[in-house]
A and B are shown apart, each in its own frame.
Chain A
Amino acid sequence: MDTASDRAAEEQQWIGRIANRDRAALKLLYDRYAPRIFRFVIRMMKDEAGAQELVNDVMLEVWKSAENFEGRSAVSTWILGIARFRTLNALRGYKPDTVGLDQSAELEDLQAEASQVKGREQLKVLLRKALDRLTSEHREVLELTFFHGYNYREIAEILQCPENTVKTRMFHARSKLKPLLERQGLSATDAGGVP
């Protein structure tokens, strides 16, 4: 399975088998998606045990709903959509885990910390902190794009929002990470080698 379309076809086939209660097919799907779901969920809820449970909730939902899957969206989009819905439900009533980065104090903090960054490890720590400070709407667009590798159409489907909203959120997320990005010396000259 090399291409994305091959993978998509393979996953559709697994879903068909899962609809017929094939646990081996569920294992294949689990191995491919559970780590991604976990990553997606834990970034939103910051609770490792809760995230583990949610992964299984999502896969259990896949097990129960596979026979109703009509293939109108990609399996990957469908699964991440379930994961997001479940996570938002789980987070209801919880104290919000994010603080908007547009607050000036937060922005100054990030600028100050960015100026102290010396090595790559420090940079990763700071980026993680910066991502944590983003609102969940902005963070999930970044995660779905740069970690999960979705295109903006798929992200719109997962988030159940217009494509333009996805693009706008990406624009704002990048703006809020700007102090960190600037600190990396990303300039027109530095980026000259970019294809």
Chain B
Amino acid sequence: MTERNIEQLLAWYANGTLDSAEREQVEKYLSEHPEMRLQLAEYEFLQETVGEIAADEPQLQSDNFDNLMAQIDELETTKPVVSKPEAVTETPAGKVVEPSWVQRLTEWVSETLQWGVTPAFARVAVVAQFALVAVLGGALLLPSEEPGYEVLSGQGSGPTVTQGVLVDIGLKPELTLAEFQQLLRDQQATVTSGPNALGVYRISLVEDGQLSARLTALQNHAGVIYLQRVQP
């Protein structure tokens, strides 16, 4: 360290903040250059008097902290600061305890929903919506005894055809569902599959003495545009 560098440390030697190595260098330098003690004395004079001057100057008002608290209250009301959850807490005994999953969930909800500042009516609405979603979702998950769908020809109604004559039938677009159902009932027919991509149903007819008449009736129906018996 040069002489100039050491001289530049004198102010902090005077205020006692140099580390031990720097202090030793300054002291060694001072012993070798007694004239530098004048400079040190000037700094020591400043150290003494600058503090004294402070005592005569205006002092901080005692109620200033109350004003600060009022400012913080206002800040927390208008723009709340969500506290950062501690990852771990320390017990008085010094044992480190991780927060439970309930605490973590609570903190997450608090941070995510800004729950602390949500008005009461809004909280009720959120809870009600959450409950509704939970109930409906639960209902969907429950096993149901009823099938989740119903075939066009109904379930268990009408004649059950396990063996019969299969016919592909195409319908006019304007034919209503009710008219189609009536047609099936009239001819004792049951939909076995369809409609396919072309809108064709495959139906099954009872193979009895009236089969020909039923096929004729289907063919002549105003809503039928296509009828083709499926070859066995």
Interface of A with B (CB < 8 Å)?
19-21, 23, 26-27, 30, 34-35, 38-39, 42, 48, 51-52, 55-56, 59-60, 63-64, 67, 123-124, 127-128, 131, 142-143, 145-147, 149-152, 154, 167-168, 170-171, 174, 177, 181, 184, 186-188, 190-192, 194
Contact = CB atoms under 8 A, between A and B. Distances in A.
A34 B72 CA distance: 16
Contact of A181 (B45, B52, B75): B45
Given A20-B84, A188-B34, A188-B37, A149 B15 contact: yes
B67 interface: yes
Contacts, number: 124
Given A30-B65, A146-B51, A191-B41, 4 more contacts: A21-B81, A60-B75, A151-B17, A188-B35
21 contacts: A20-B83, A20-B84, A34-B65, A38-B60, A52-B64, A56-B67, A60-B68, A60-B71, A67-B84, A124-B49, A147-B50, A149-B15, A152-B11, A167-B8, A167-B9, A174-B39, A186-B38, A186-B41, A186-B42, A190-B41, A194-B44
State the majority secondary structure of interface residues on B.
Answer: helix
Contacts of A26: 68
A151 B38 contact: no
Contacts of A184: 45
A170 B10 CA distance: 10
A130 B141 CA distance: 84
Interface in B176-203: none
Interface string B5-36: 00011011011111000000000000000110
A19 B87 CA distance: 13
A64 B18 contact: no
B41 A127 contact: no
A52 B17 CA distance: 29
B224 interface: no
A48 B84 contact: no
A173 B185 CA distance: 111
A177 to B, nearest CB: 7
Given A123-B49, A127-B49, A145-B15, A171 B8 contact: yes
Q: What's the dominant secondary structure at chain A's contact region? A: helix
Contacts of A48: 58
A151 B64 contact: no
A56 B71 contact: yes
Nearest to B72: A63
Interface string B211-231: 000000000000000000000
Contacts of B40: 191, 194
A194 B75 CA distance: 53
Contacts of B54: 39, 147
Contacts of A167: 8-9
Contacts of B9: 152, 167
B150 interface: no
A21 B84 CA distance: 9
Contacts of B52: 124
A127 B53 contact: yes
